[in-house]
Structure 1
Amino acid sequence: MKNKAVNRLIALGTTLTILLCGCGGTEKPAVGSAPDRETQTAASQSAAAGENAATGETPVAGENANEDMITFTFSKSSYPSVTLPEGQTPDDNVVLDYIRDNYQVDMKLAWQAEGSEYNNKLSLNIASGNLPDIFYCNDYRTFLQLAQNGLLADLTDIYEENISDTIKGIDASYGGRNLEPVTIDGRLMAIPAGNLDGQQDVLWLRKDWLDNLGLEVPKTMEDLEKVLTAFVEEDPDGNGVDDTTGLTVDATKPVARYNHAFGLEPIFYAFGVYPNYWMEDENGEIYYGSTDERMKEVLTLLQDWYKKGLIDRQFATRIGSGETEAVFTSGQSGAYFGAVHANYTDAFTNNPDIELVAVAAPLDGSGKYNYVLPEPTSSMLCISSKCADPARAVKIIGIGNDLYRGFDEKANEIFNAAGIASSSNGRRAVFPQGSVTYDYFDIIEKLGKAVKENIETGSYTEYEGMTQYDKDQVVLATQYADGSDKTELSFKSYYYRYVGSNLLSGSEMNPHEAAYYYTTDSSASLQAELDTLEQEMYLSIIIGEKSVDYFDDFVTQWKNIGGDTLLEEVKQVLGR
């Protein structure tokens, strides 16, 4: 999104109060990282120092010894069900001690909360004018309101000089695209956590089933239909029982956005249709992808697949926790769409001989695999305008990230001795940045290439910013490949880092960028009802409760209950 669009968004005026804006948000605990990077392996419990992204240098402990001690308060989004080592708490631990003793910064935890409760607490802080010095924000409208009302420190003139080389390298990997949404009227107002590339949904199939039936990996829509038909009708598991079902689909959200397990998005994308996104047509007109007339062709296909059993006939009833996933992991289904990290260890637990393959399919008519890039950022660390020293706050954010990534050998020894390296979530519970992850836009693809090189040649080339965690992933995936260590952890690494990630550089990959990713003034009051209407439309048409012609009624309803209002606001933001 261009900076002028952000400026117009602020110029729209604020029909919502800051408090209401802050109450939105998501239950997701982390942004900017694939779920597997949130779970440290046993092999990474002794994390050693990595190389600094840009210069090879590590933070110098004690380099601020001559500076006066300063106190910063901070809030963070926490992870659920984290068990910390004895003697370590979120507000009193070896990480905060190390930062205080070596960088003369006393980090005081003002408060923390999980998921939407974090947004509720932040809203109360905003309303009272009592913001921490450093705080996490994962609602873009809230960020804009904060910036507009002078509640954020202007980082423009202090960022480059004080942020770490690692985060500079991360910014460079985005081409600065991550900084655009947090730059208002040419002024940098936050430190963004980016959304990683390489988490687009691909087709996961049971390779052993393909082999059993003598089938090739599908490429086109017709190929996929043939494979699904065989999986349903031809006893792919060879047990002599008619017990397999079709494509596994999420009933609660059949269609969503980027990085959505068990969705149907790639089917729509193959038709050049992009539901759930604000798009721009060939004439420069802005439209909502879910109202595209071409949706009817895709819905007709999906309804037909459901009638034939090529989509799990029971999917609409599978709404309990884990029920959808279990259809695949239990061996009932052999196909689903999900990101390259969306390979489920329960499948290995239930069947250690299982074989999977990830496929960029179905392709469109020109042989391309379409997908929509994620928004550049959806969360950020903000510094309050009341902060006594924003420059040192910027510096300590960068230092904290380097410490988290393992770029300080002395710190690693101390943290490991205290048990902080035992799990990534545990580490997040004691690090000031909490659930925020700063990582390279192309890290998933880069790590995948290193894994591939090691499996196929016996060695690999380290890349800038490679952490001990990354190196451990290379080892784990290789151990699974050569059969020396087949565990749930190595299964996950192999299929994520080798089988899945190495699709990402394929010539068929065809990314598209949405015209606009974020909410508008009226989203808080309108979006929930619009989303419910849309998801009910998908479900009712696919399972045949309503005809495909109902789509026209849906579009009319969508427009009348607020869709047209949001469309006009998006157009205003974009200056159309």
Structure 2
Amino acid sequence: MRKNYLFRHIAITLSAVMVLSLAGCSGTNTKNNAAAGKNTETSSSNKGEEKGTQTEDGPFGAYPETVTYTMGRQTIQNPKLPDGDTYENNAYTRFVKEKLNAVASDAFEANGEDYDRQVSLAIASEDLPDIMKIGSKDILNELVENDMVADLTEAYNTYGSDYLKEIYESYDGRCLSTATYDGKIMALPGTNVDSAPNEVWIRQDWVDKLGLKVDEDGNGMITIDELKNIAKAFMEKDPGGSKNPVGISLAYWLSANDYGGATYCATGIANAFGAYPKLWFKNTDGSVYYGSNTEENKKTLGLLADWFKEGILDPQFGTRTWDDITALLSNGQTGITFGVWHIPDWLLNNVRAMDKKAAFTSYVVEGENGKANVFHNNASSGYIVVRKGYKHPELAIKIANLFYDELANTKTLEKDYPEVAKYQADGVDGSTRPFNVEINKYTSLLDDYADIKKGVDGKIAIEDARTLESRNVIQSVKRYLKNPAAEDVTDWSKYHSRMKGIALIDKLTKEGSFNWVDPVFWGTTETMKSSWANLQKLEEETFIKIVTGSVPLDDFDKYVKDWNNQGGSQIITEIEANIK
């Protein structure tokens, strides 16, 4: 009998069939493996181990006879595919056919929660597609435990390209190990590069207008007091002319456990105090603690409560929506916000669209130790699994080689693969590739920036940059620098995200200014399944009350006690057992 996971998925399936069927899914083209025209040699109805045919040697060798592979395909609503192309038949899938003689056949296509339900249906019916993306380590754990996915160790060792292996090795074991069980590689993990720190973005045009001095020592860091003084000056002088200025506005959830999700959060302020909310760490004695419940985080809440009382923090903290805070920025009511390096590309560009004079500079809030305190993200993001019994488990490795080695490193993309190059130039979404995950070197962010900086400075020709994206960014930045007042928001965005956002990361890295800490757990324990939602609600509501002064700061200690009594202590015990 299979474990509880399958029973849970059966329950999900029973509810899902009320809105879905195996033949269709809410605006997607969902198909059954047995549909007419499918090559049944790859159908998962054959539960026994299948013997694969010989492939040509090497990581990029094509199959002598056409191989069909069924896919579980995670989509998005607007992939920008050209007319006539589909997720199943597009430039990327045709590229795989040309290079490997392998043809995709989608078992199901869906996005968001619909995709998760389709994965649940496939697992509950024990009818997995040959290759499928799954979103979490928890699902991988259950698939491995129930012997449903292929051991990829031999395929990876034999067919993984040198560069693909370099990618995983660059994470010092933090990535590939999440897919390794008893020494066996059971999936290809997507990578998640560190995008720290939680940068504080400040309106540079307002700083100039008011004659303020910021980061006088030029180390890219500002103190908490400097941040407060800038916010106070913006409020008193109202350089945006809004007549209703706001100092600093923060999201009511306050922090995130991934820098990519820390926009509008106080994560950078907490880190400056040595606090790392919503993350799990190990003490020197081996015991585990929760980062939200530390004295350092209590100090963070105390500071925010003081700022709220003084009016530095948004008086509507706790009730503002994401859109509300975005409007404050776009309307010129606030000139300070927090976010990852690339928020100029998709958020701060709204400010520029409203005000052609808008310019930003990014900093990190400096810790008392004189460092930028930062945590490592979860190194893996999503997993590619292969159905146990599929003839060609090495195909997953070979496809990864093509996209994350050959396409990523070629300098002649436009010449060699013009159709793929046009997709990238036209902004066709990456979900149209066979694998909707990213597999990049840990250093890829700074590697790309090095190319961009050299190209912008004229030290290399644009065509010598490693990637098409970098070549496009170089041209955007050059156009912006030639005419900063131009109407083009995209050029403004690329300049700010790369030459401000990533440049700060590059500077702090080279100067040894980062103080890294390592969370020890990213999964879900048994007690979390029943108690975590309530514990998160307790945390969020208590912290809002503390910041807004509804309860005193010392109620933090009562919160910690309640958190432990309501399941937190048991969760810690389970994590300690898990990581031994």
Using the TM superposition, give the Cα deviation of residue 510 of structure 1 relative to its aligned residue in structure 2, in angstroms.
1.6
The alignment status of 1:452 with 2:449, answered yes or no, reads: no
Equivalent AA in structure 1 for residue 232 of structure 2: T
Once the two structures are TM-superposed, the CA of residue 222 in structure 1 deviates from its matched residue by: 1.5
- Residue 323 (structure 1) aligned with residue 297 (structure 2): no
Q: Which residue of structure 2 aligns with residue 333 of structure 1?
A: 334
Aligned to 1:488: 489
The count of corresponding residues between Structure 1 and Structure 2 is 519
Equivalent of residue 376 in structure 2, options 356, 373, 383 = 373
1:402-448, Cα deviation, whole Å (9 max, x unpaired): 576484556622345xx634544x34343211x31122222222223
1:142 and 2:139 correspond:
yes
Q: Is the 8 A contact 2:74 2:431 kept in 1?
A: no
Assess, with a 3 A threshold, how the Cα gap between structure 1 residues 313 and 62 changes in structure 2: closer, same or farther: closer
For the 8 Å contact 1:16–1:521, the answer to whether it is kept is no
Per-residue deviation, residues 148-169 of structure 1 (Å, max 9, x unmatched)? 2111111111203212444223
Q: Distance in 2 between matches of 1:494 and 1:142?
A: 40
CA distance in 1, matches of 2:494, 2:285: 44
Do the aligned partners of 1:138 and 1:378 also contact (CA within 8 Å) in 2?
Answer: yes
2:64 is the counterpart of 1:67: yes
* Counterparts in 2 of 1:508 and 1:172: CA distance versus 1, 3 Å: same
**Quick one: which of 412, 417, 423 aligns to 1:412?**
417
Q: State the match for 2:250 in structure 1.
A: 249
Contact 1:202/1:360, CA 8 A, preserved across alignment: yes
Distance in 2 between the 1:569 and 1:411 partners?
52
SS of the residue corresponding to residue 103 of structure 2 reads strand
Partner of 2:513: 508
Q: Which moved more, 1:91-100 or 1:144-153?
A: 91-100
The answer to whether the aligner puts 1:348 opposite 2:352 as a matched pair is yes
Give 1:225's match in structure 2, choosing from 221, 225, 228. 228
8 Å contact kept, 1:200–1:258: no
1:378-424 CA distances to partner (integer Å, 9 max, x unpaired)? 311111112111123321332244576484556622345xx634544
**2:239 & 2:564 partners in 1: Cα distance?**
45
Question: Unmatched 5+ residue regions in structure 2?
Answer: 13-55, 216-221
1:449 is displaced (CA, Å) by 3.0
Q: 1:66 to 1:127 in 2, by over 3 A?
A: closer
SS in 2 for 1:157: helix
Residue of structure 1 equivalent to 2:27: none
Partners of 2:76 and 2:409 lie apart in 1 by 20
Q: Does 1:551 align with 2:556?
A: yes
| Structure of greater relative contact order (alpha carbons < 8 Å, 6+ residues apart) | 1
Q: Which has the larger radius of gyration?
A: 2
Instruction: Indicate yes or no: 2:116 matched with 1:130.
Output: no
Whether the 8 Å contact between 1:22 and 1:122 is mirrored in structure 2 is no
What is the DSSP-based 3-state SS (H/G/I as helix, E as strand, rest coil) of the residue aligned with 2:153? coil
**Partner-residue secondary structure (3-state), 2:343:** coil
> Given the superposition, is the C-alpha separation of residues 535 and 406 from structure 1 closer, same or farther in structure 2, using an over 3 Å criterion?
same
The whole-number CA distance in structure 1 between the counterparts of 2:463 and 2:548 is 48
What is the DSSP-based 3-state SS (H/G/I as helix, E as strand, rest coil) of the residue aligned with 1:459? coil
Q: Retained in 2: the 8 A contact 1:198–1:442?
A: no
| Residue identity in the other structure for 1:122 | V
Cα gap change, 1:448 to 1:95, in 2 (>3 Å): closer
Unaligned runs of 5+ in 1: 1-12, 24-58
Note the C-alpha offset of 1:211. 1.9
Residue pair 2:73, 2:133 contacting (<8 A) in 1 also: yes
- Structure 2 matches for 1:556-575, cutoff 5 A? 556-575=561-580
Q: Secondary structure at the match of 2:154?
A: coil
1:535 equivalent in structure 2:
540
Inter-partner Cα distance in structure 2 for 1:537 and 1:293: 15
Query: Relative to structure 1, is the Cα distance of residues 101 and 502 closer, same or farther in structure 2, using a 3 angstrom cutoff?
Result: closer
DSSP-derived class of the 1:516 partner: coil
Q: Which amino acid aligns with 1:332?
A: Q
Q: Residue 277 of structure 2 aligns with which residue?
A: 275
Contact 1:232 / 1:309 at 8 angstroms: preserved in 2?
Answer: no
Q: Distance in 1 between matches of 2:464 and 2:517?
A: 27
Q: Is the 8 A contact 1:62 1:103 kept in 2?
A: no
In 1, Cα distance between the equivalents of 2:71 and 2:81? 20
Question: Aligned partners of 1:463 and 1:531: how far apart in 2?
Answer: 49
| Superimposed CA distance per residue, residues 447-478 of structure 1 (whole angstroms, 9 cap, x where no aligned partner) | 233333344x3234899992111221122123
1:161-310 matches, cutoff 5 A: 161-218=158-215, 219-237=222-240, 239=241, 242-251=243-252, 253-259=253-259, 260-310=262-312
Cα offset for 1:21?
11
- Is 76-85 or 124-133 further displaced after alignment? 76-85
Q: Which secondary structure does the structure 1 equivalent of 2:275 belong to?
A: coil
Provide the aligned C-alpha RMSD in A: 2.9
Report the Cα distance in structure 2 between the residues aligned to 1:22 and 1:88, rounded to whole angstroms: 36
Is structure 2 residue 100 aligned with structure 1 residue 103? yes
Distance in 1 (CA, whole Å) between partners of 2:571 and 2:462 is 46
- Contact 1:217–1:359 (CA<8 Å) still a contact in 2? no
| Cα distance, 1:296 vs structure 2 | 2.3
What SS does the corresponding residue of 1:495 show, helix, strand or coil?
helix
Superposition deviation, residue 525 in structure 1 = 2.2
Q: TM-score, normalised by structure 1?
A: 0.83
Contact 1:305/1:311 (CA < 8 Å) preserved in 2? yes
Change (3 A) 1:157 1:330: same
**TM-score normalized by structure 2?**
0.83
Secondary structure at the aligned position of 1:380 is classed as strand
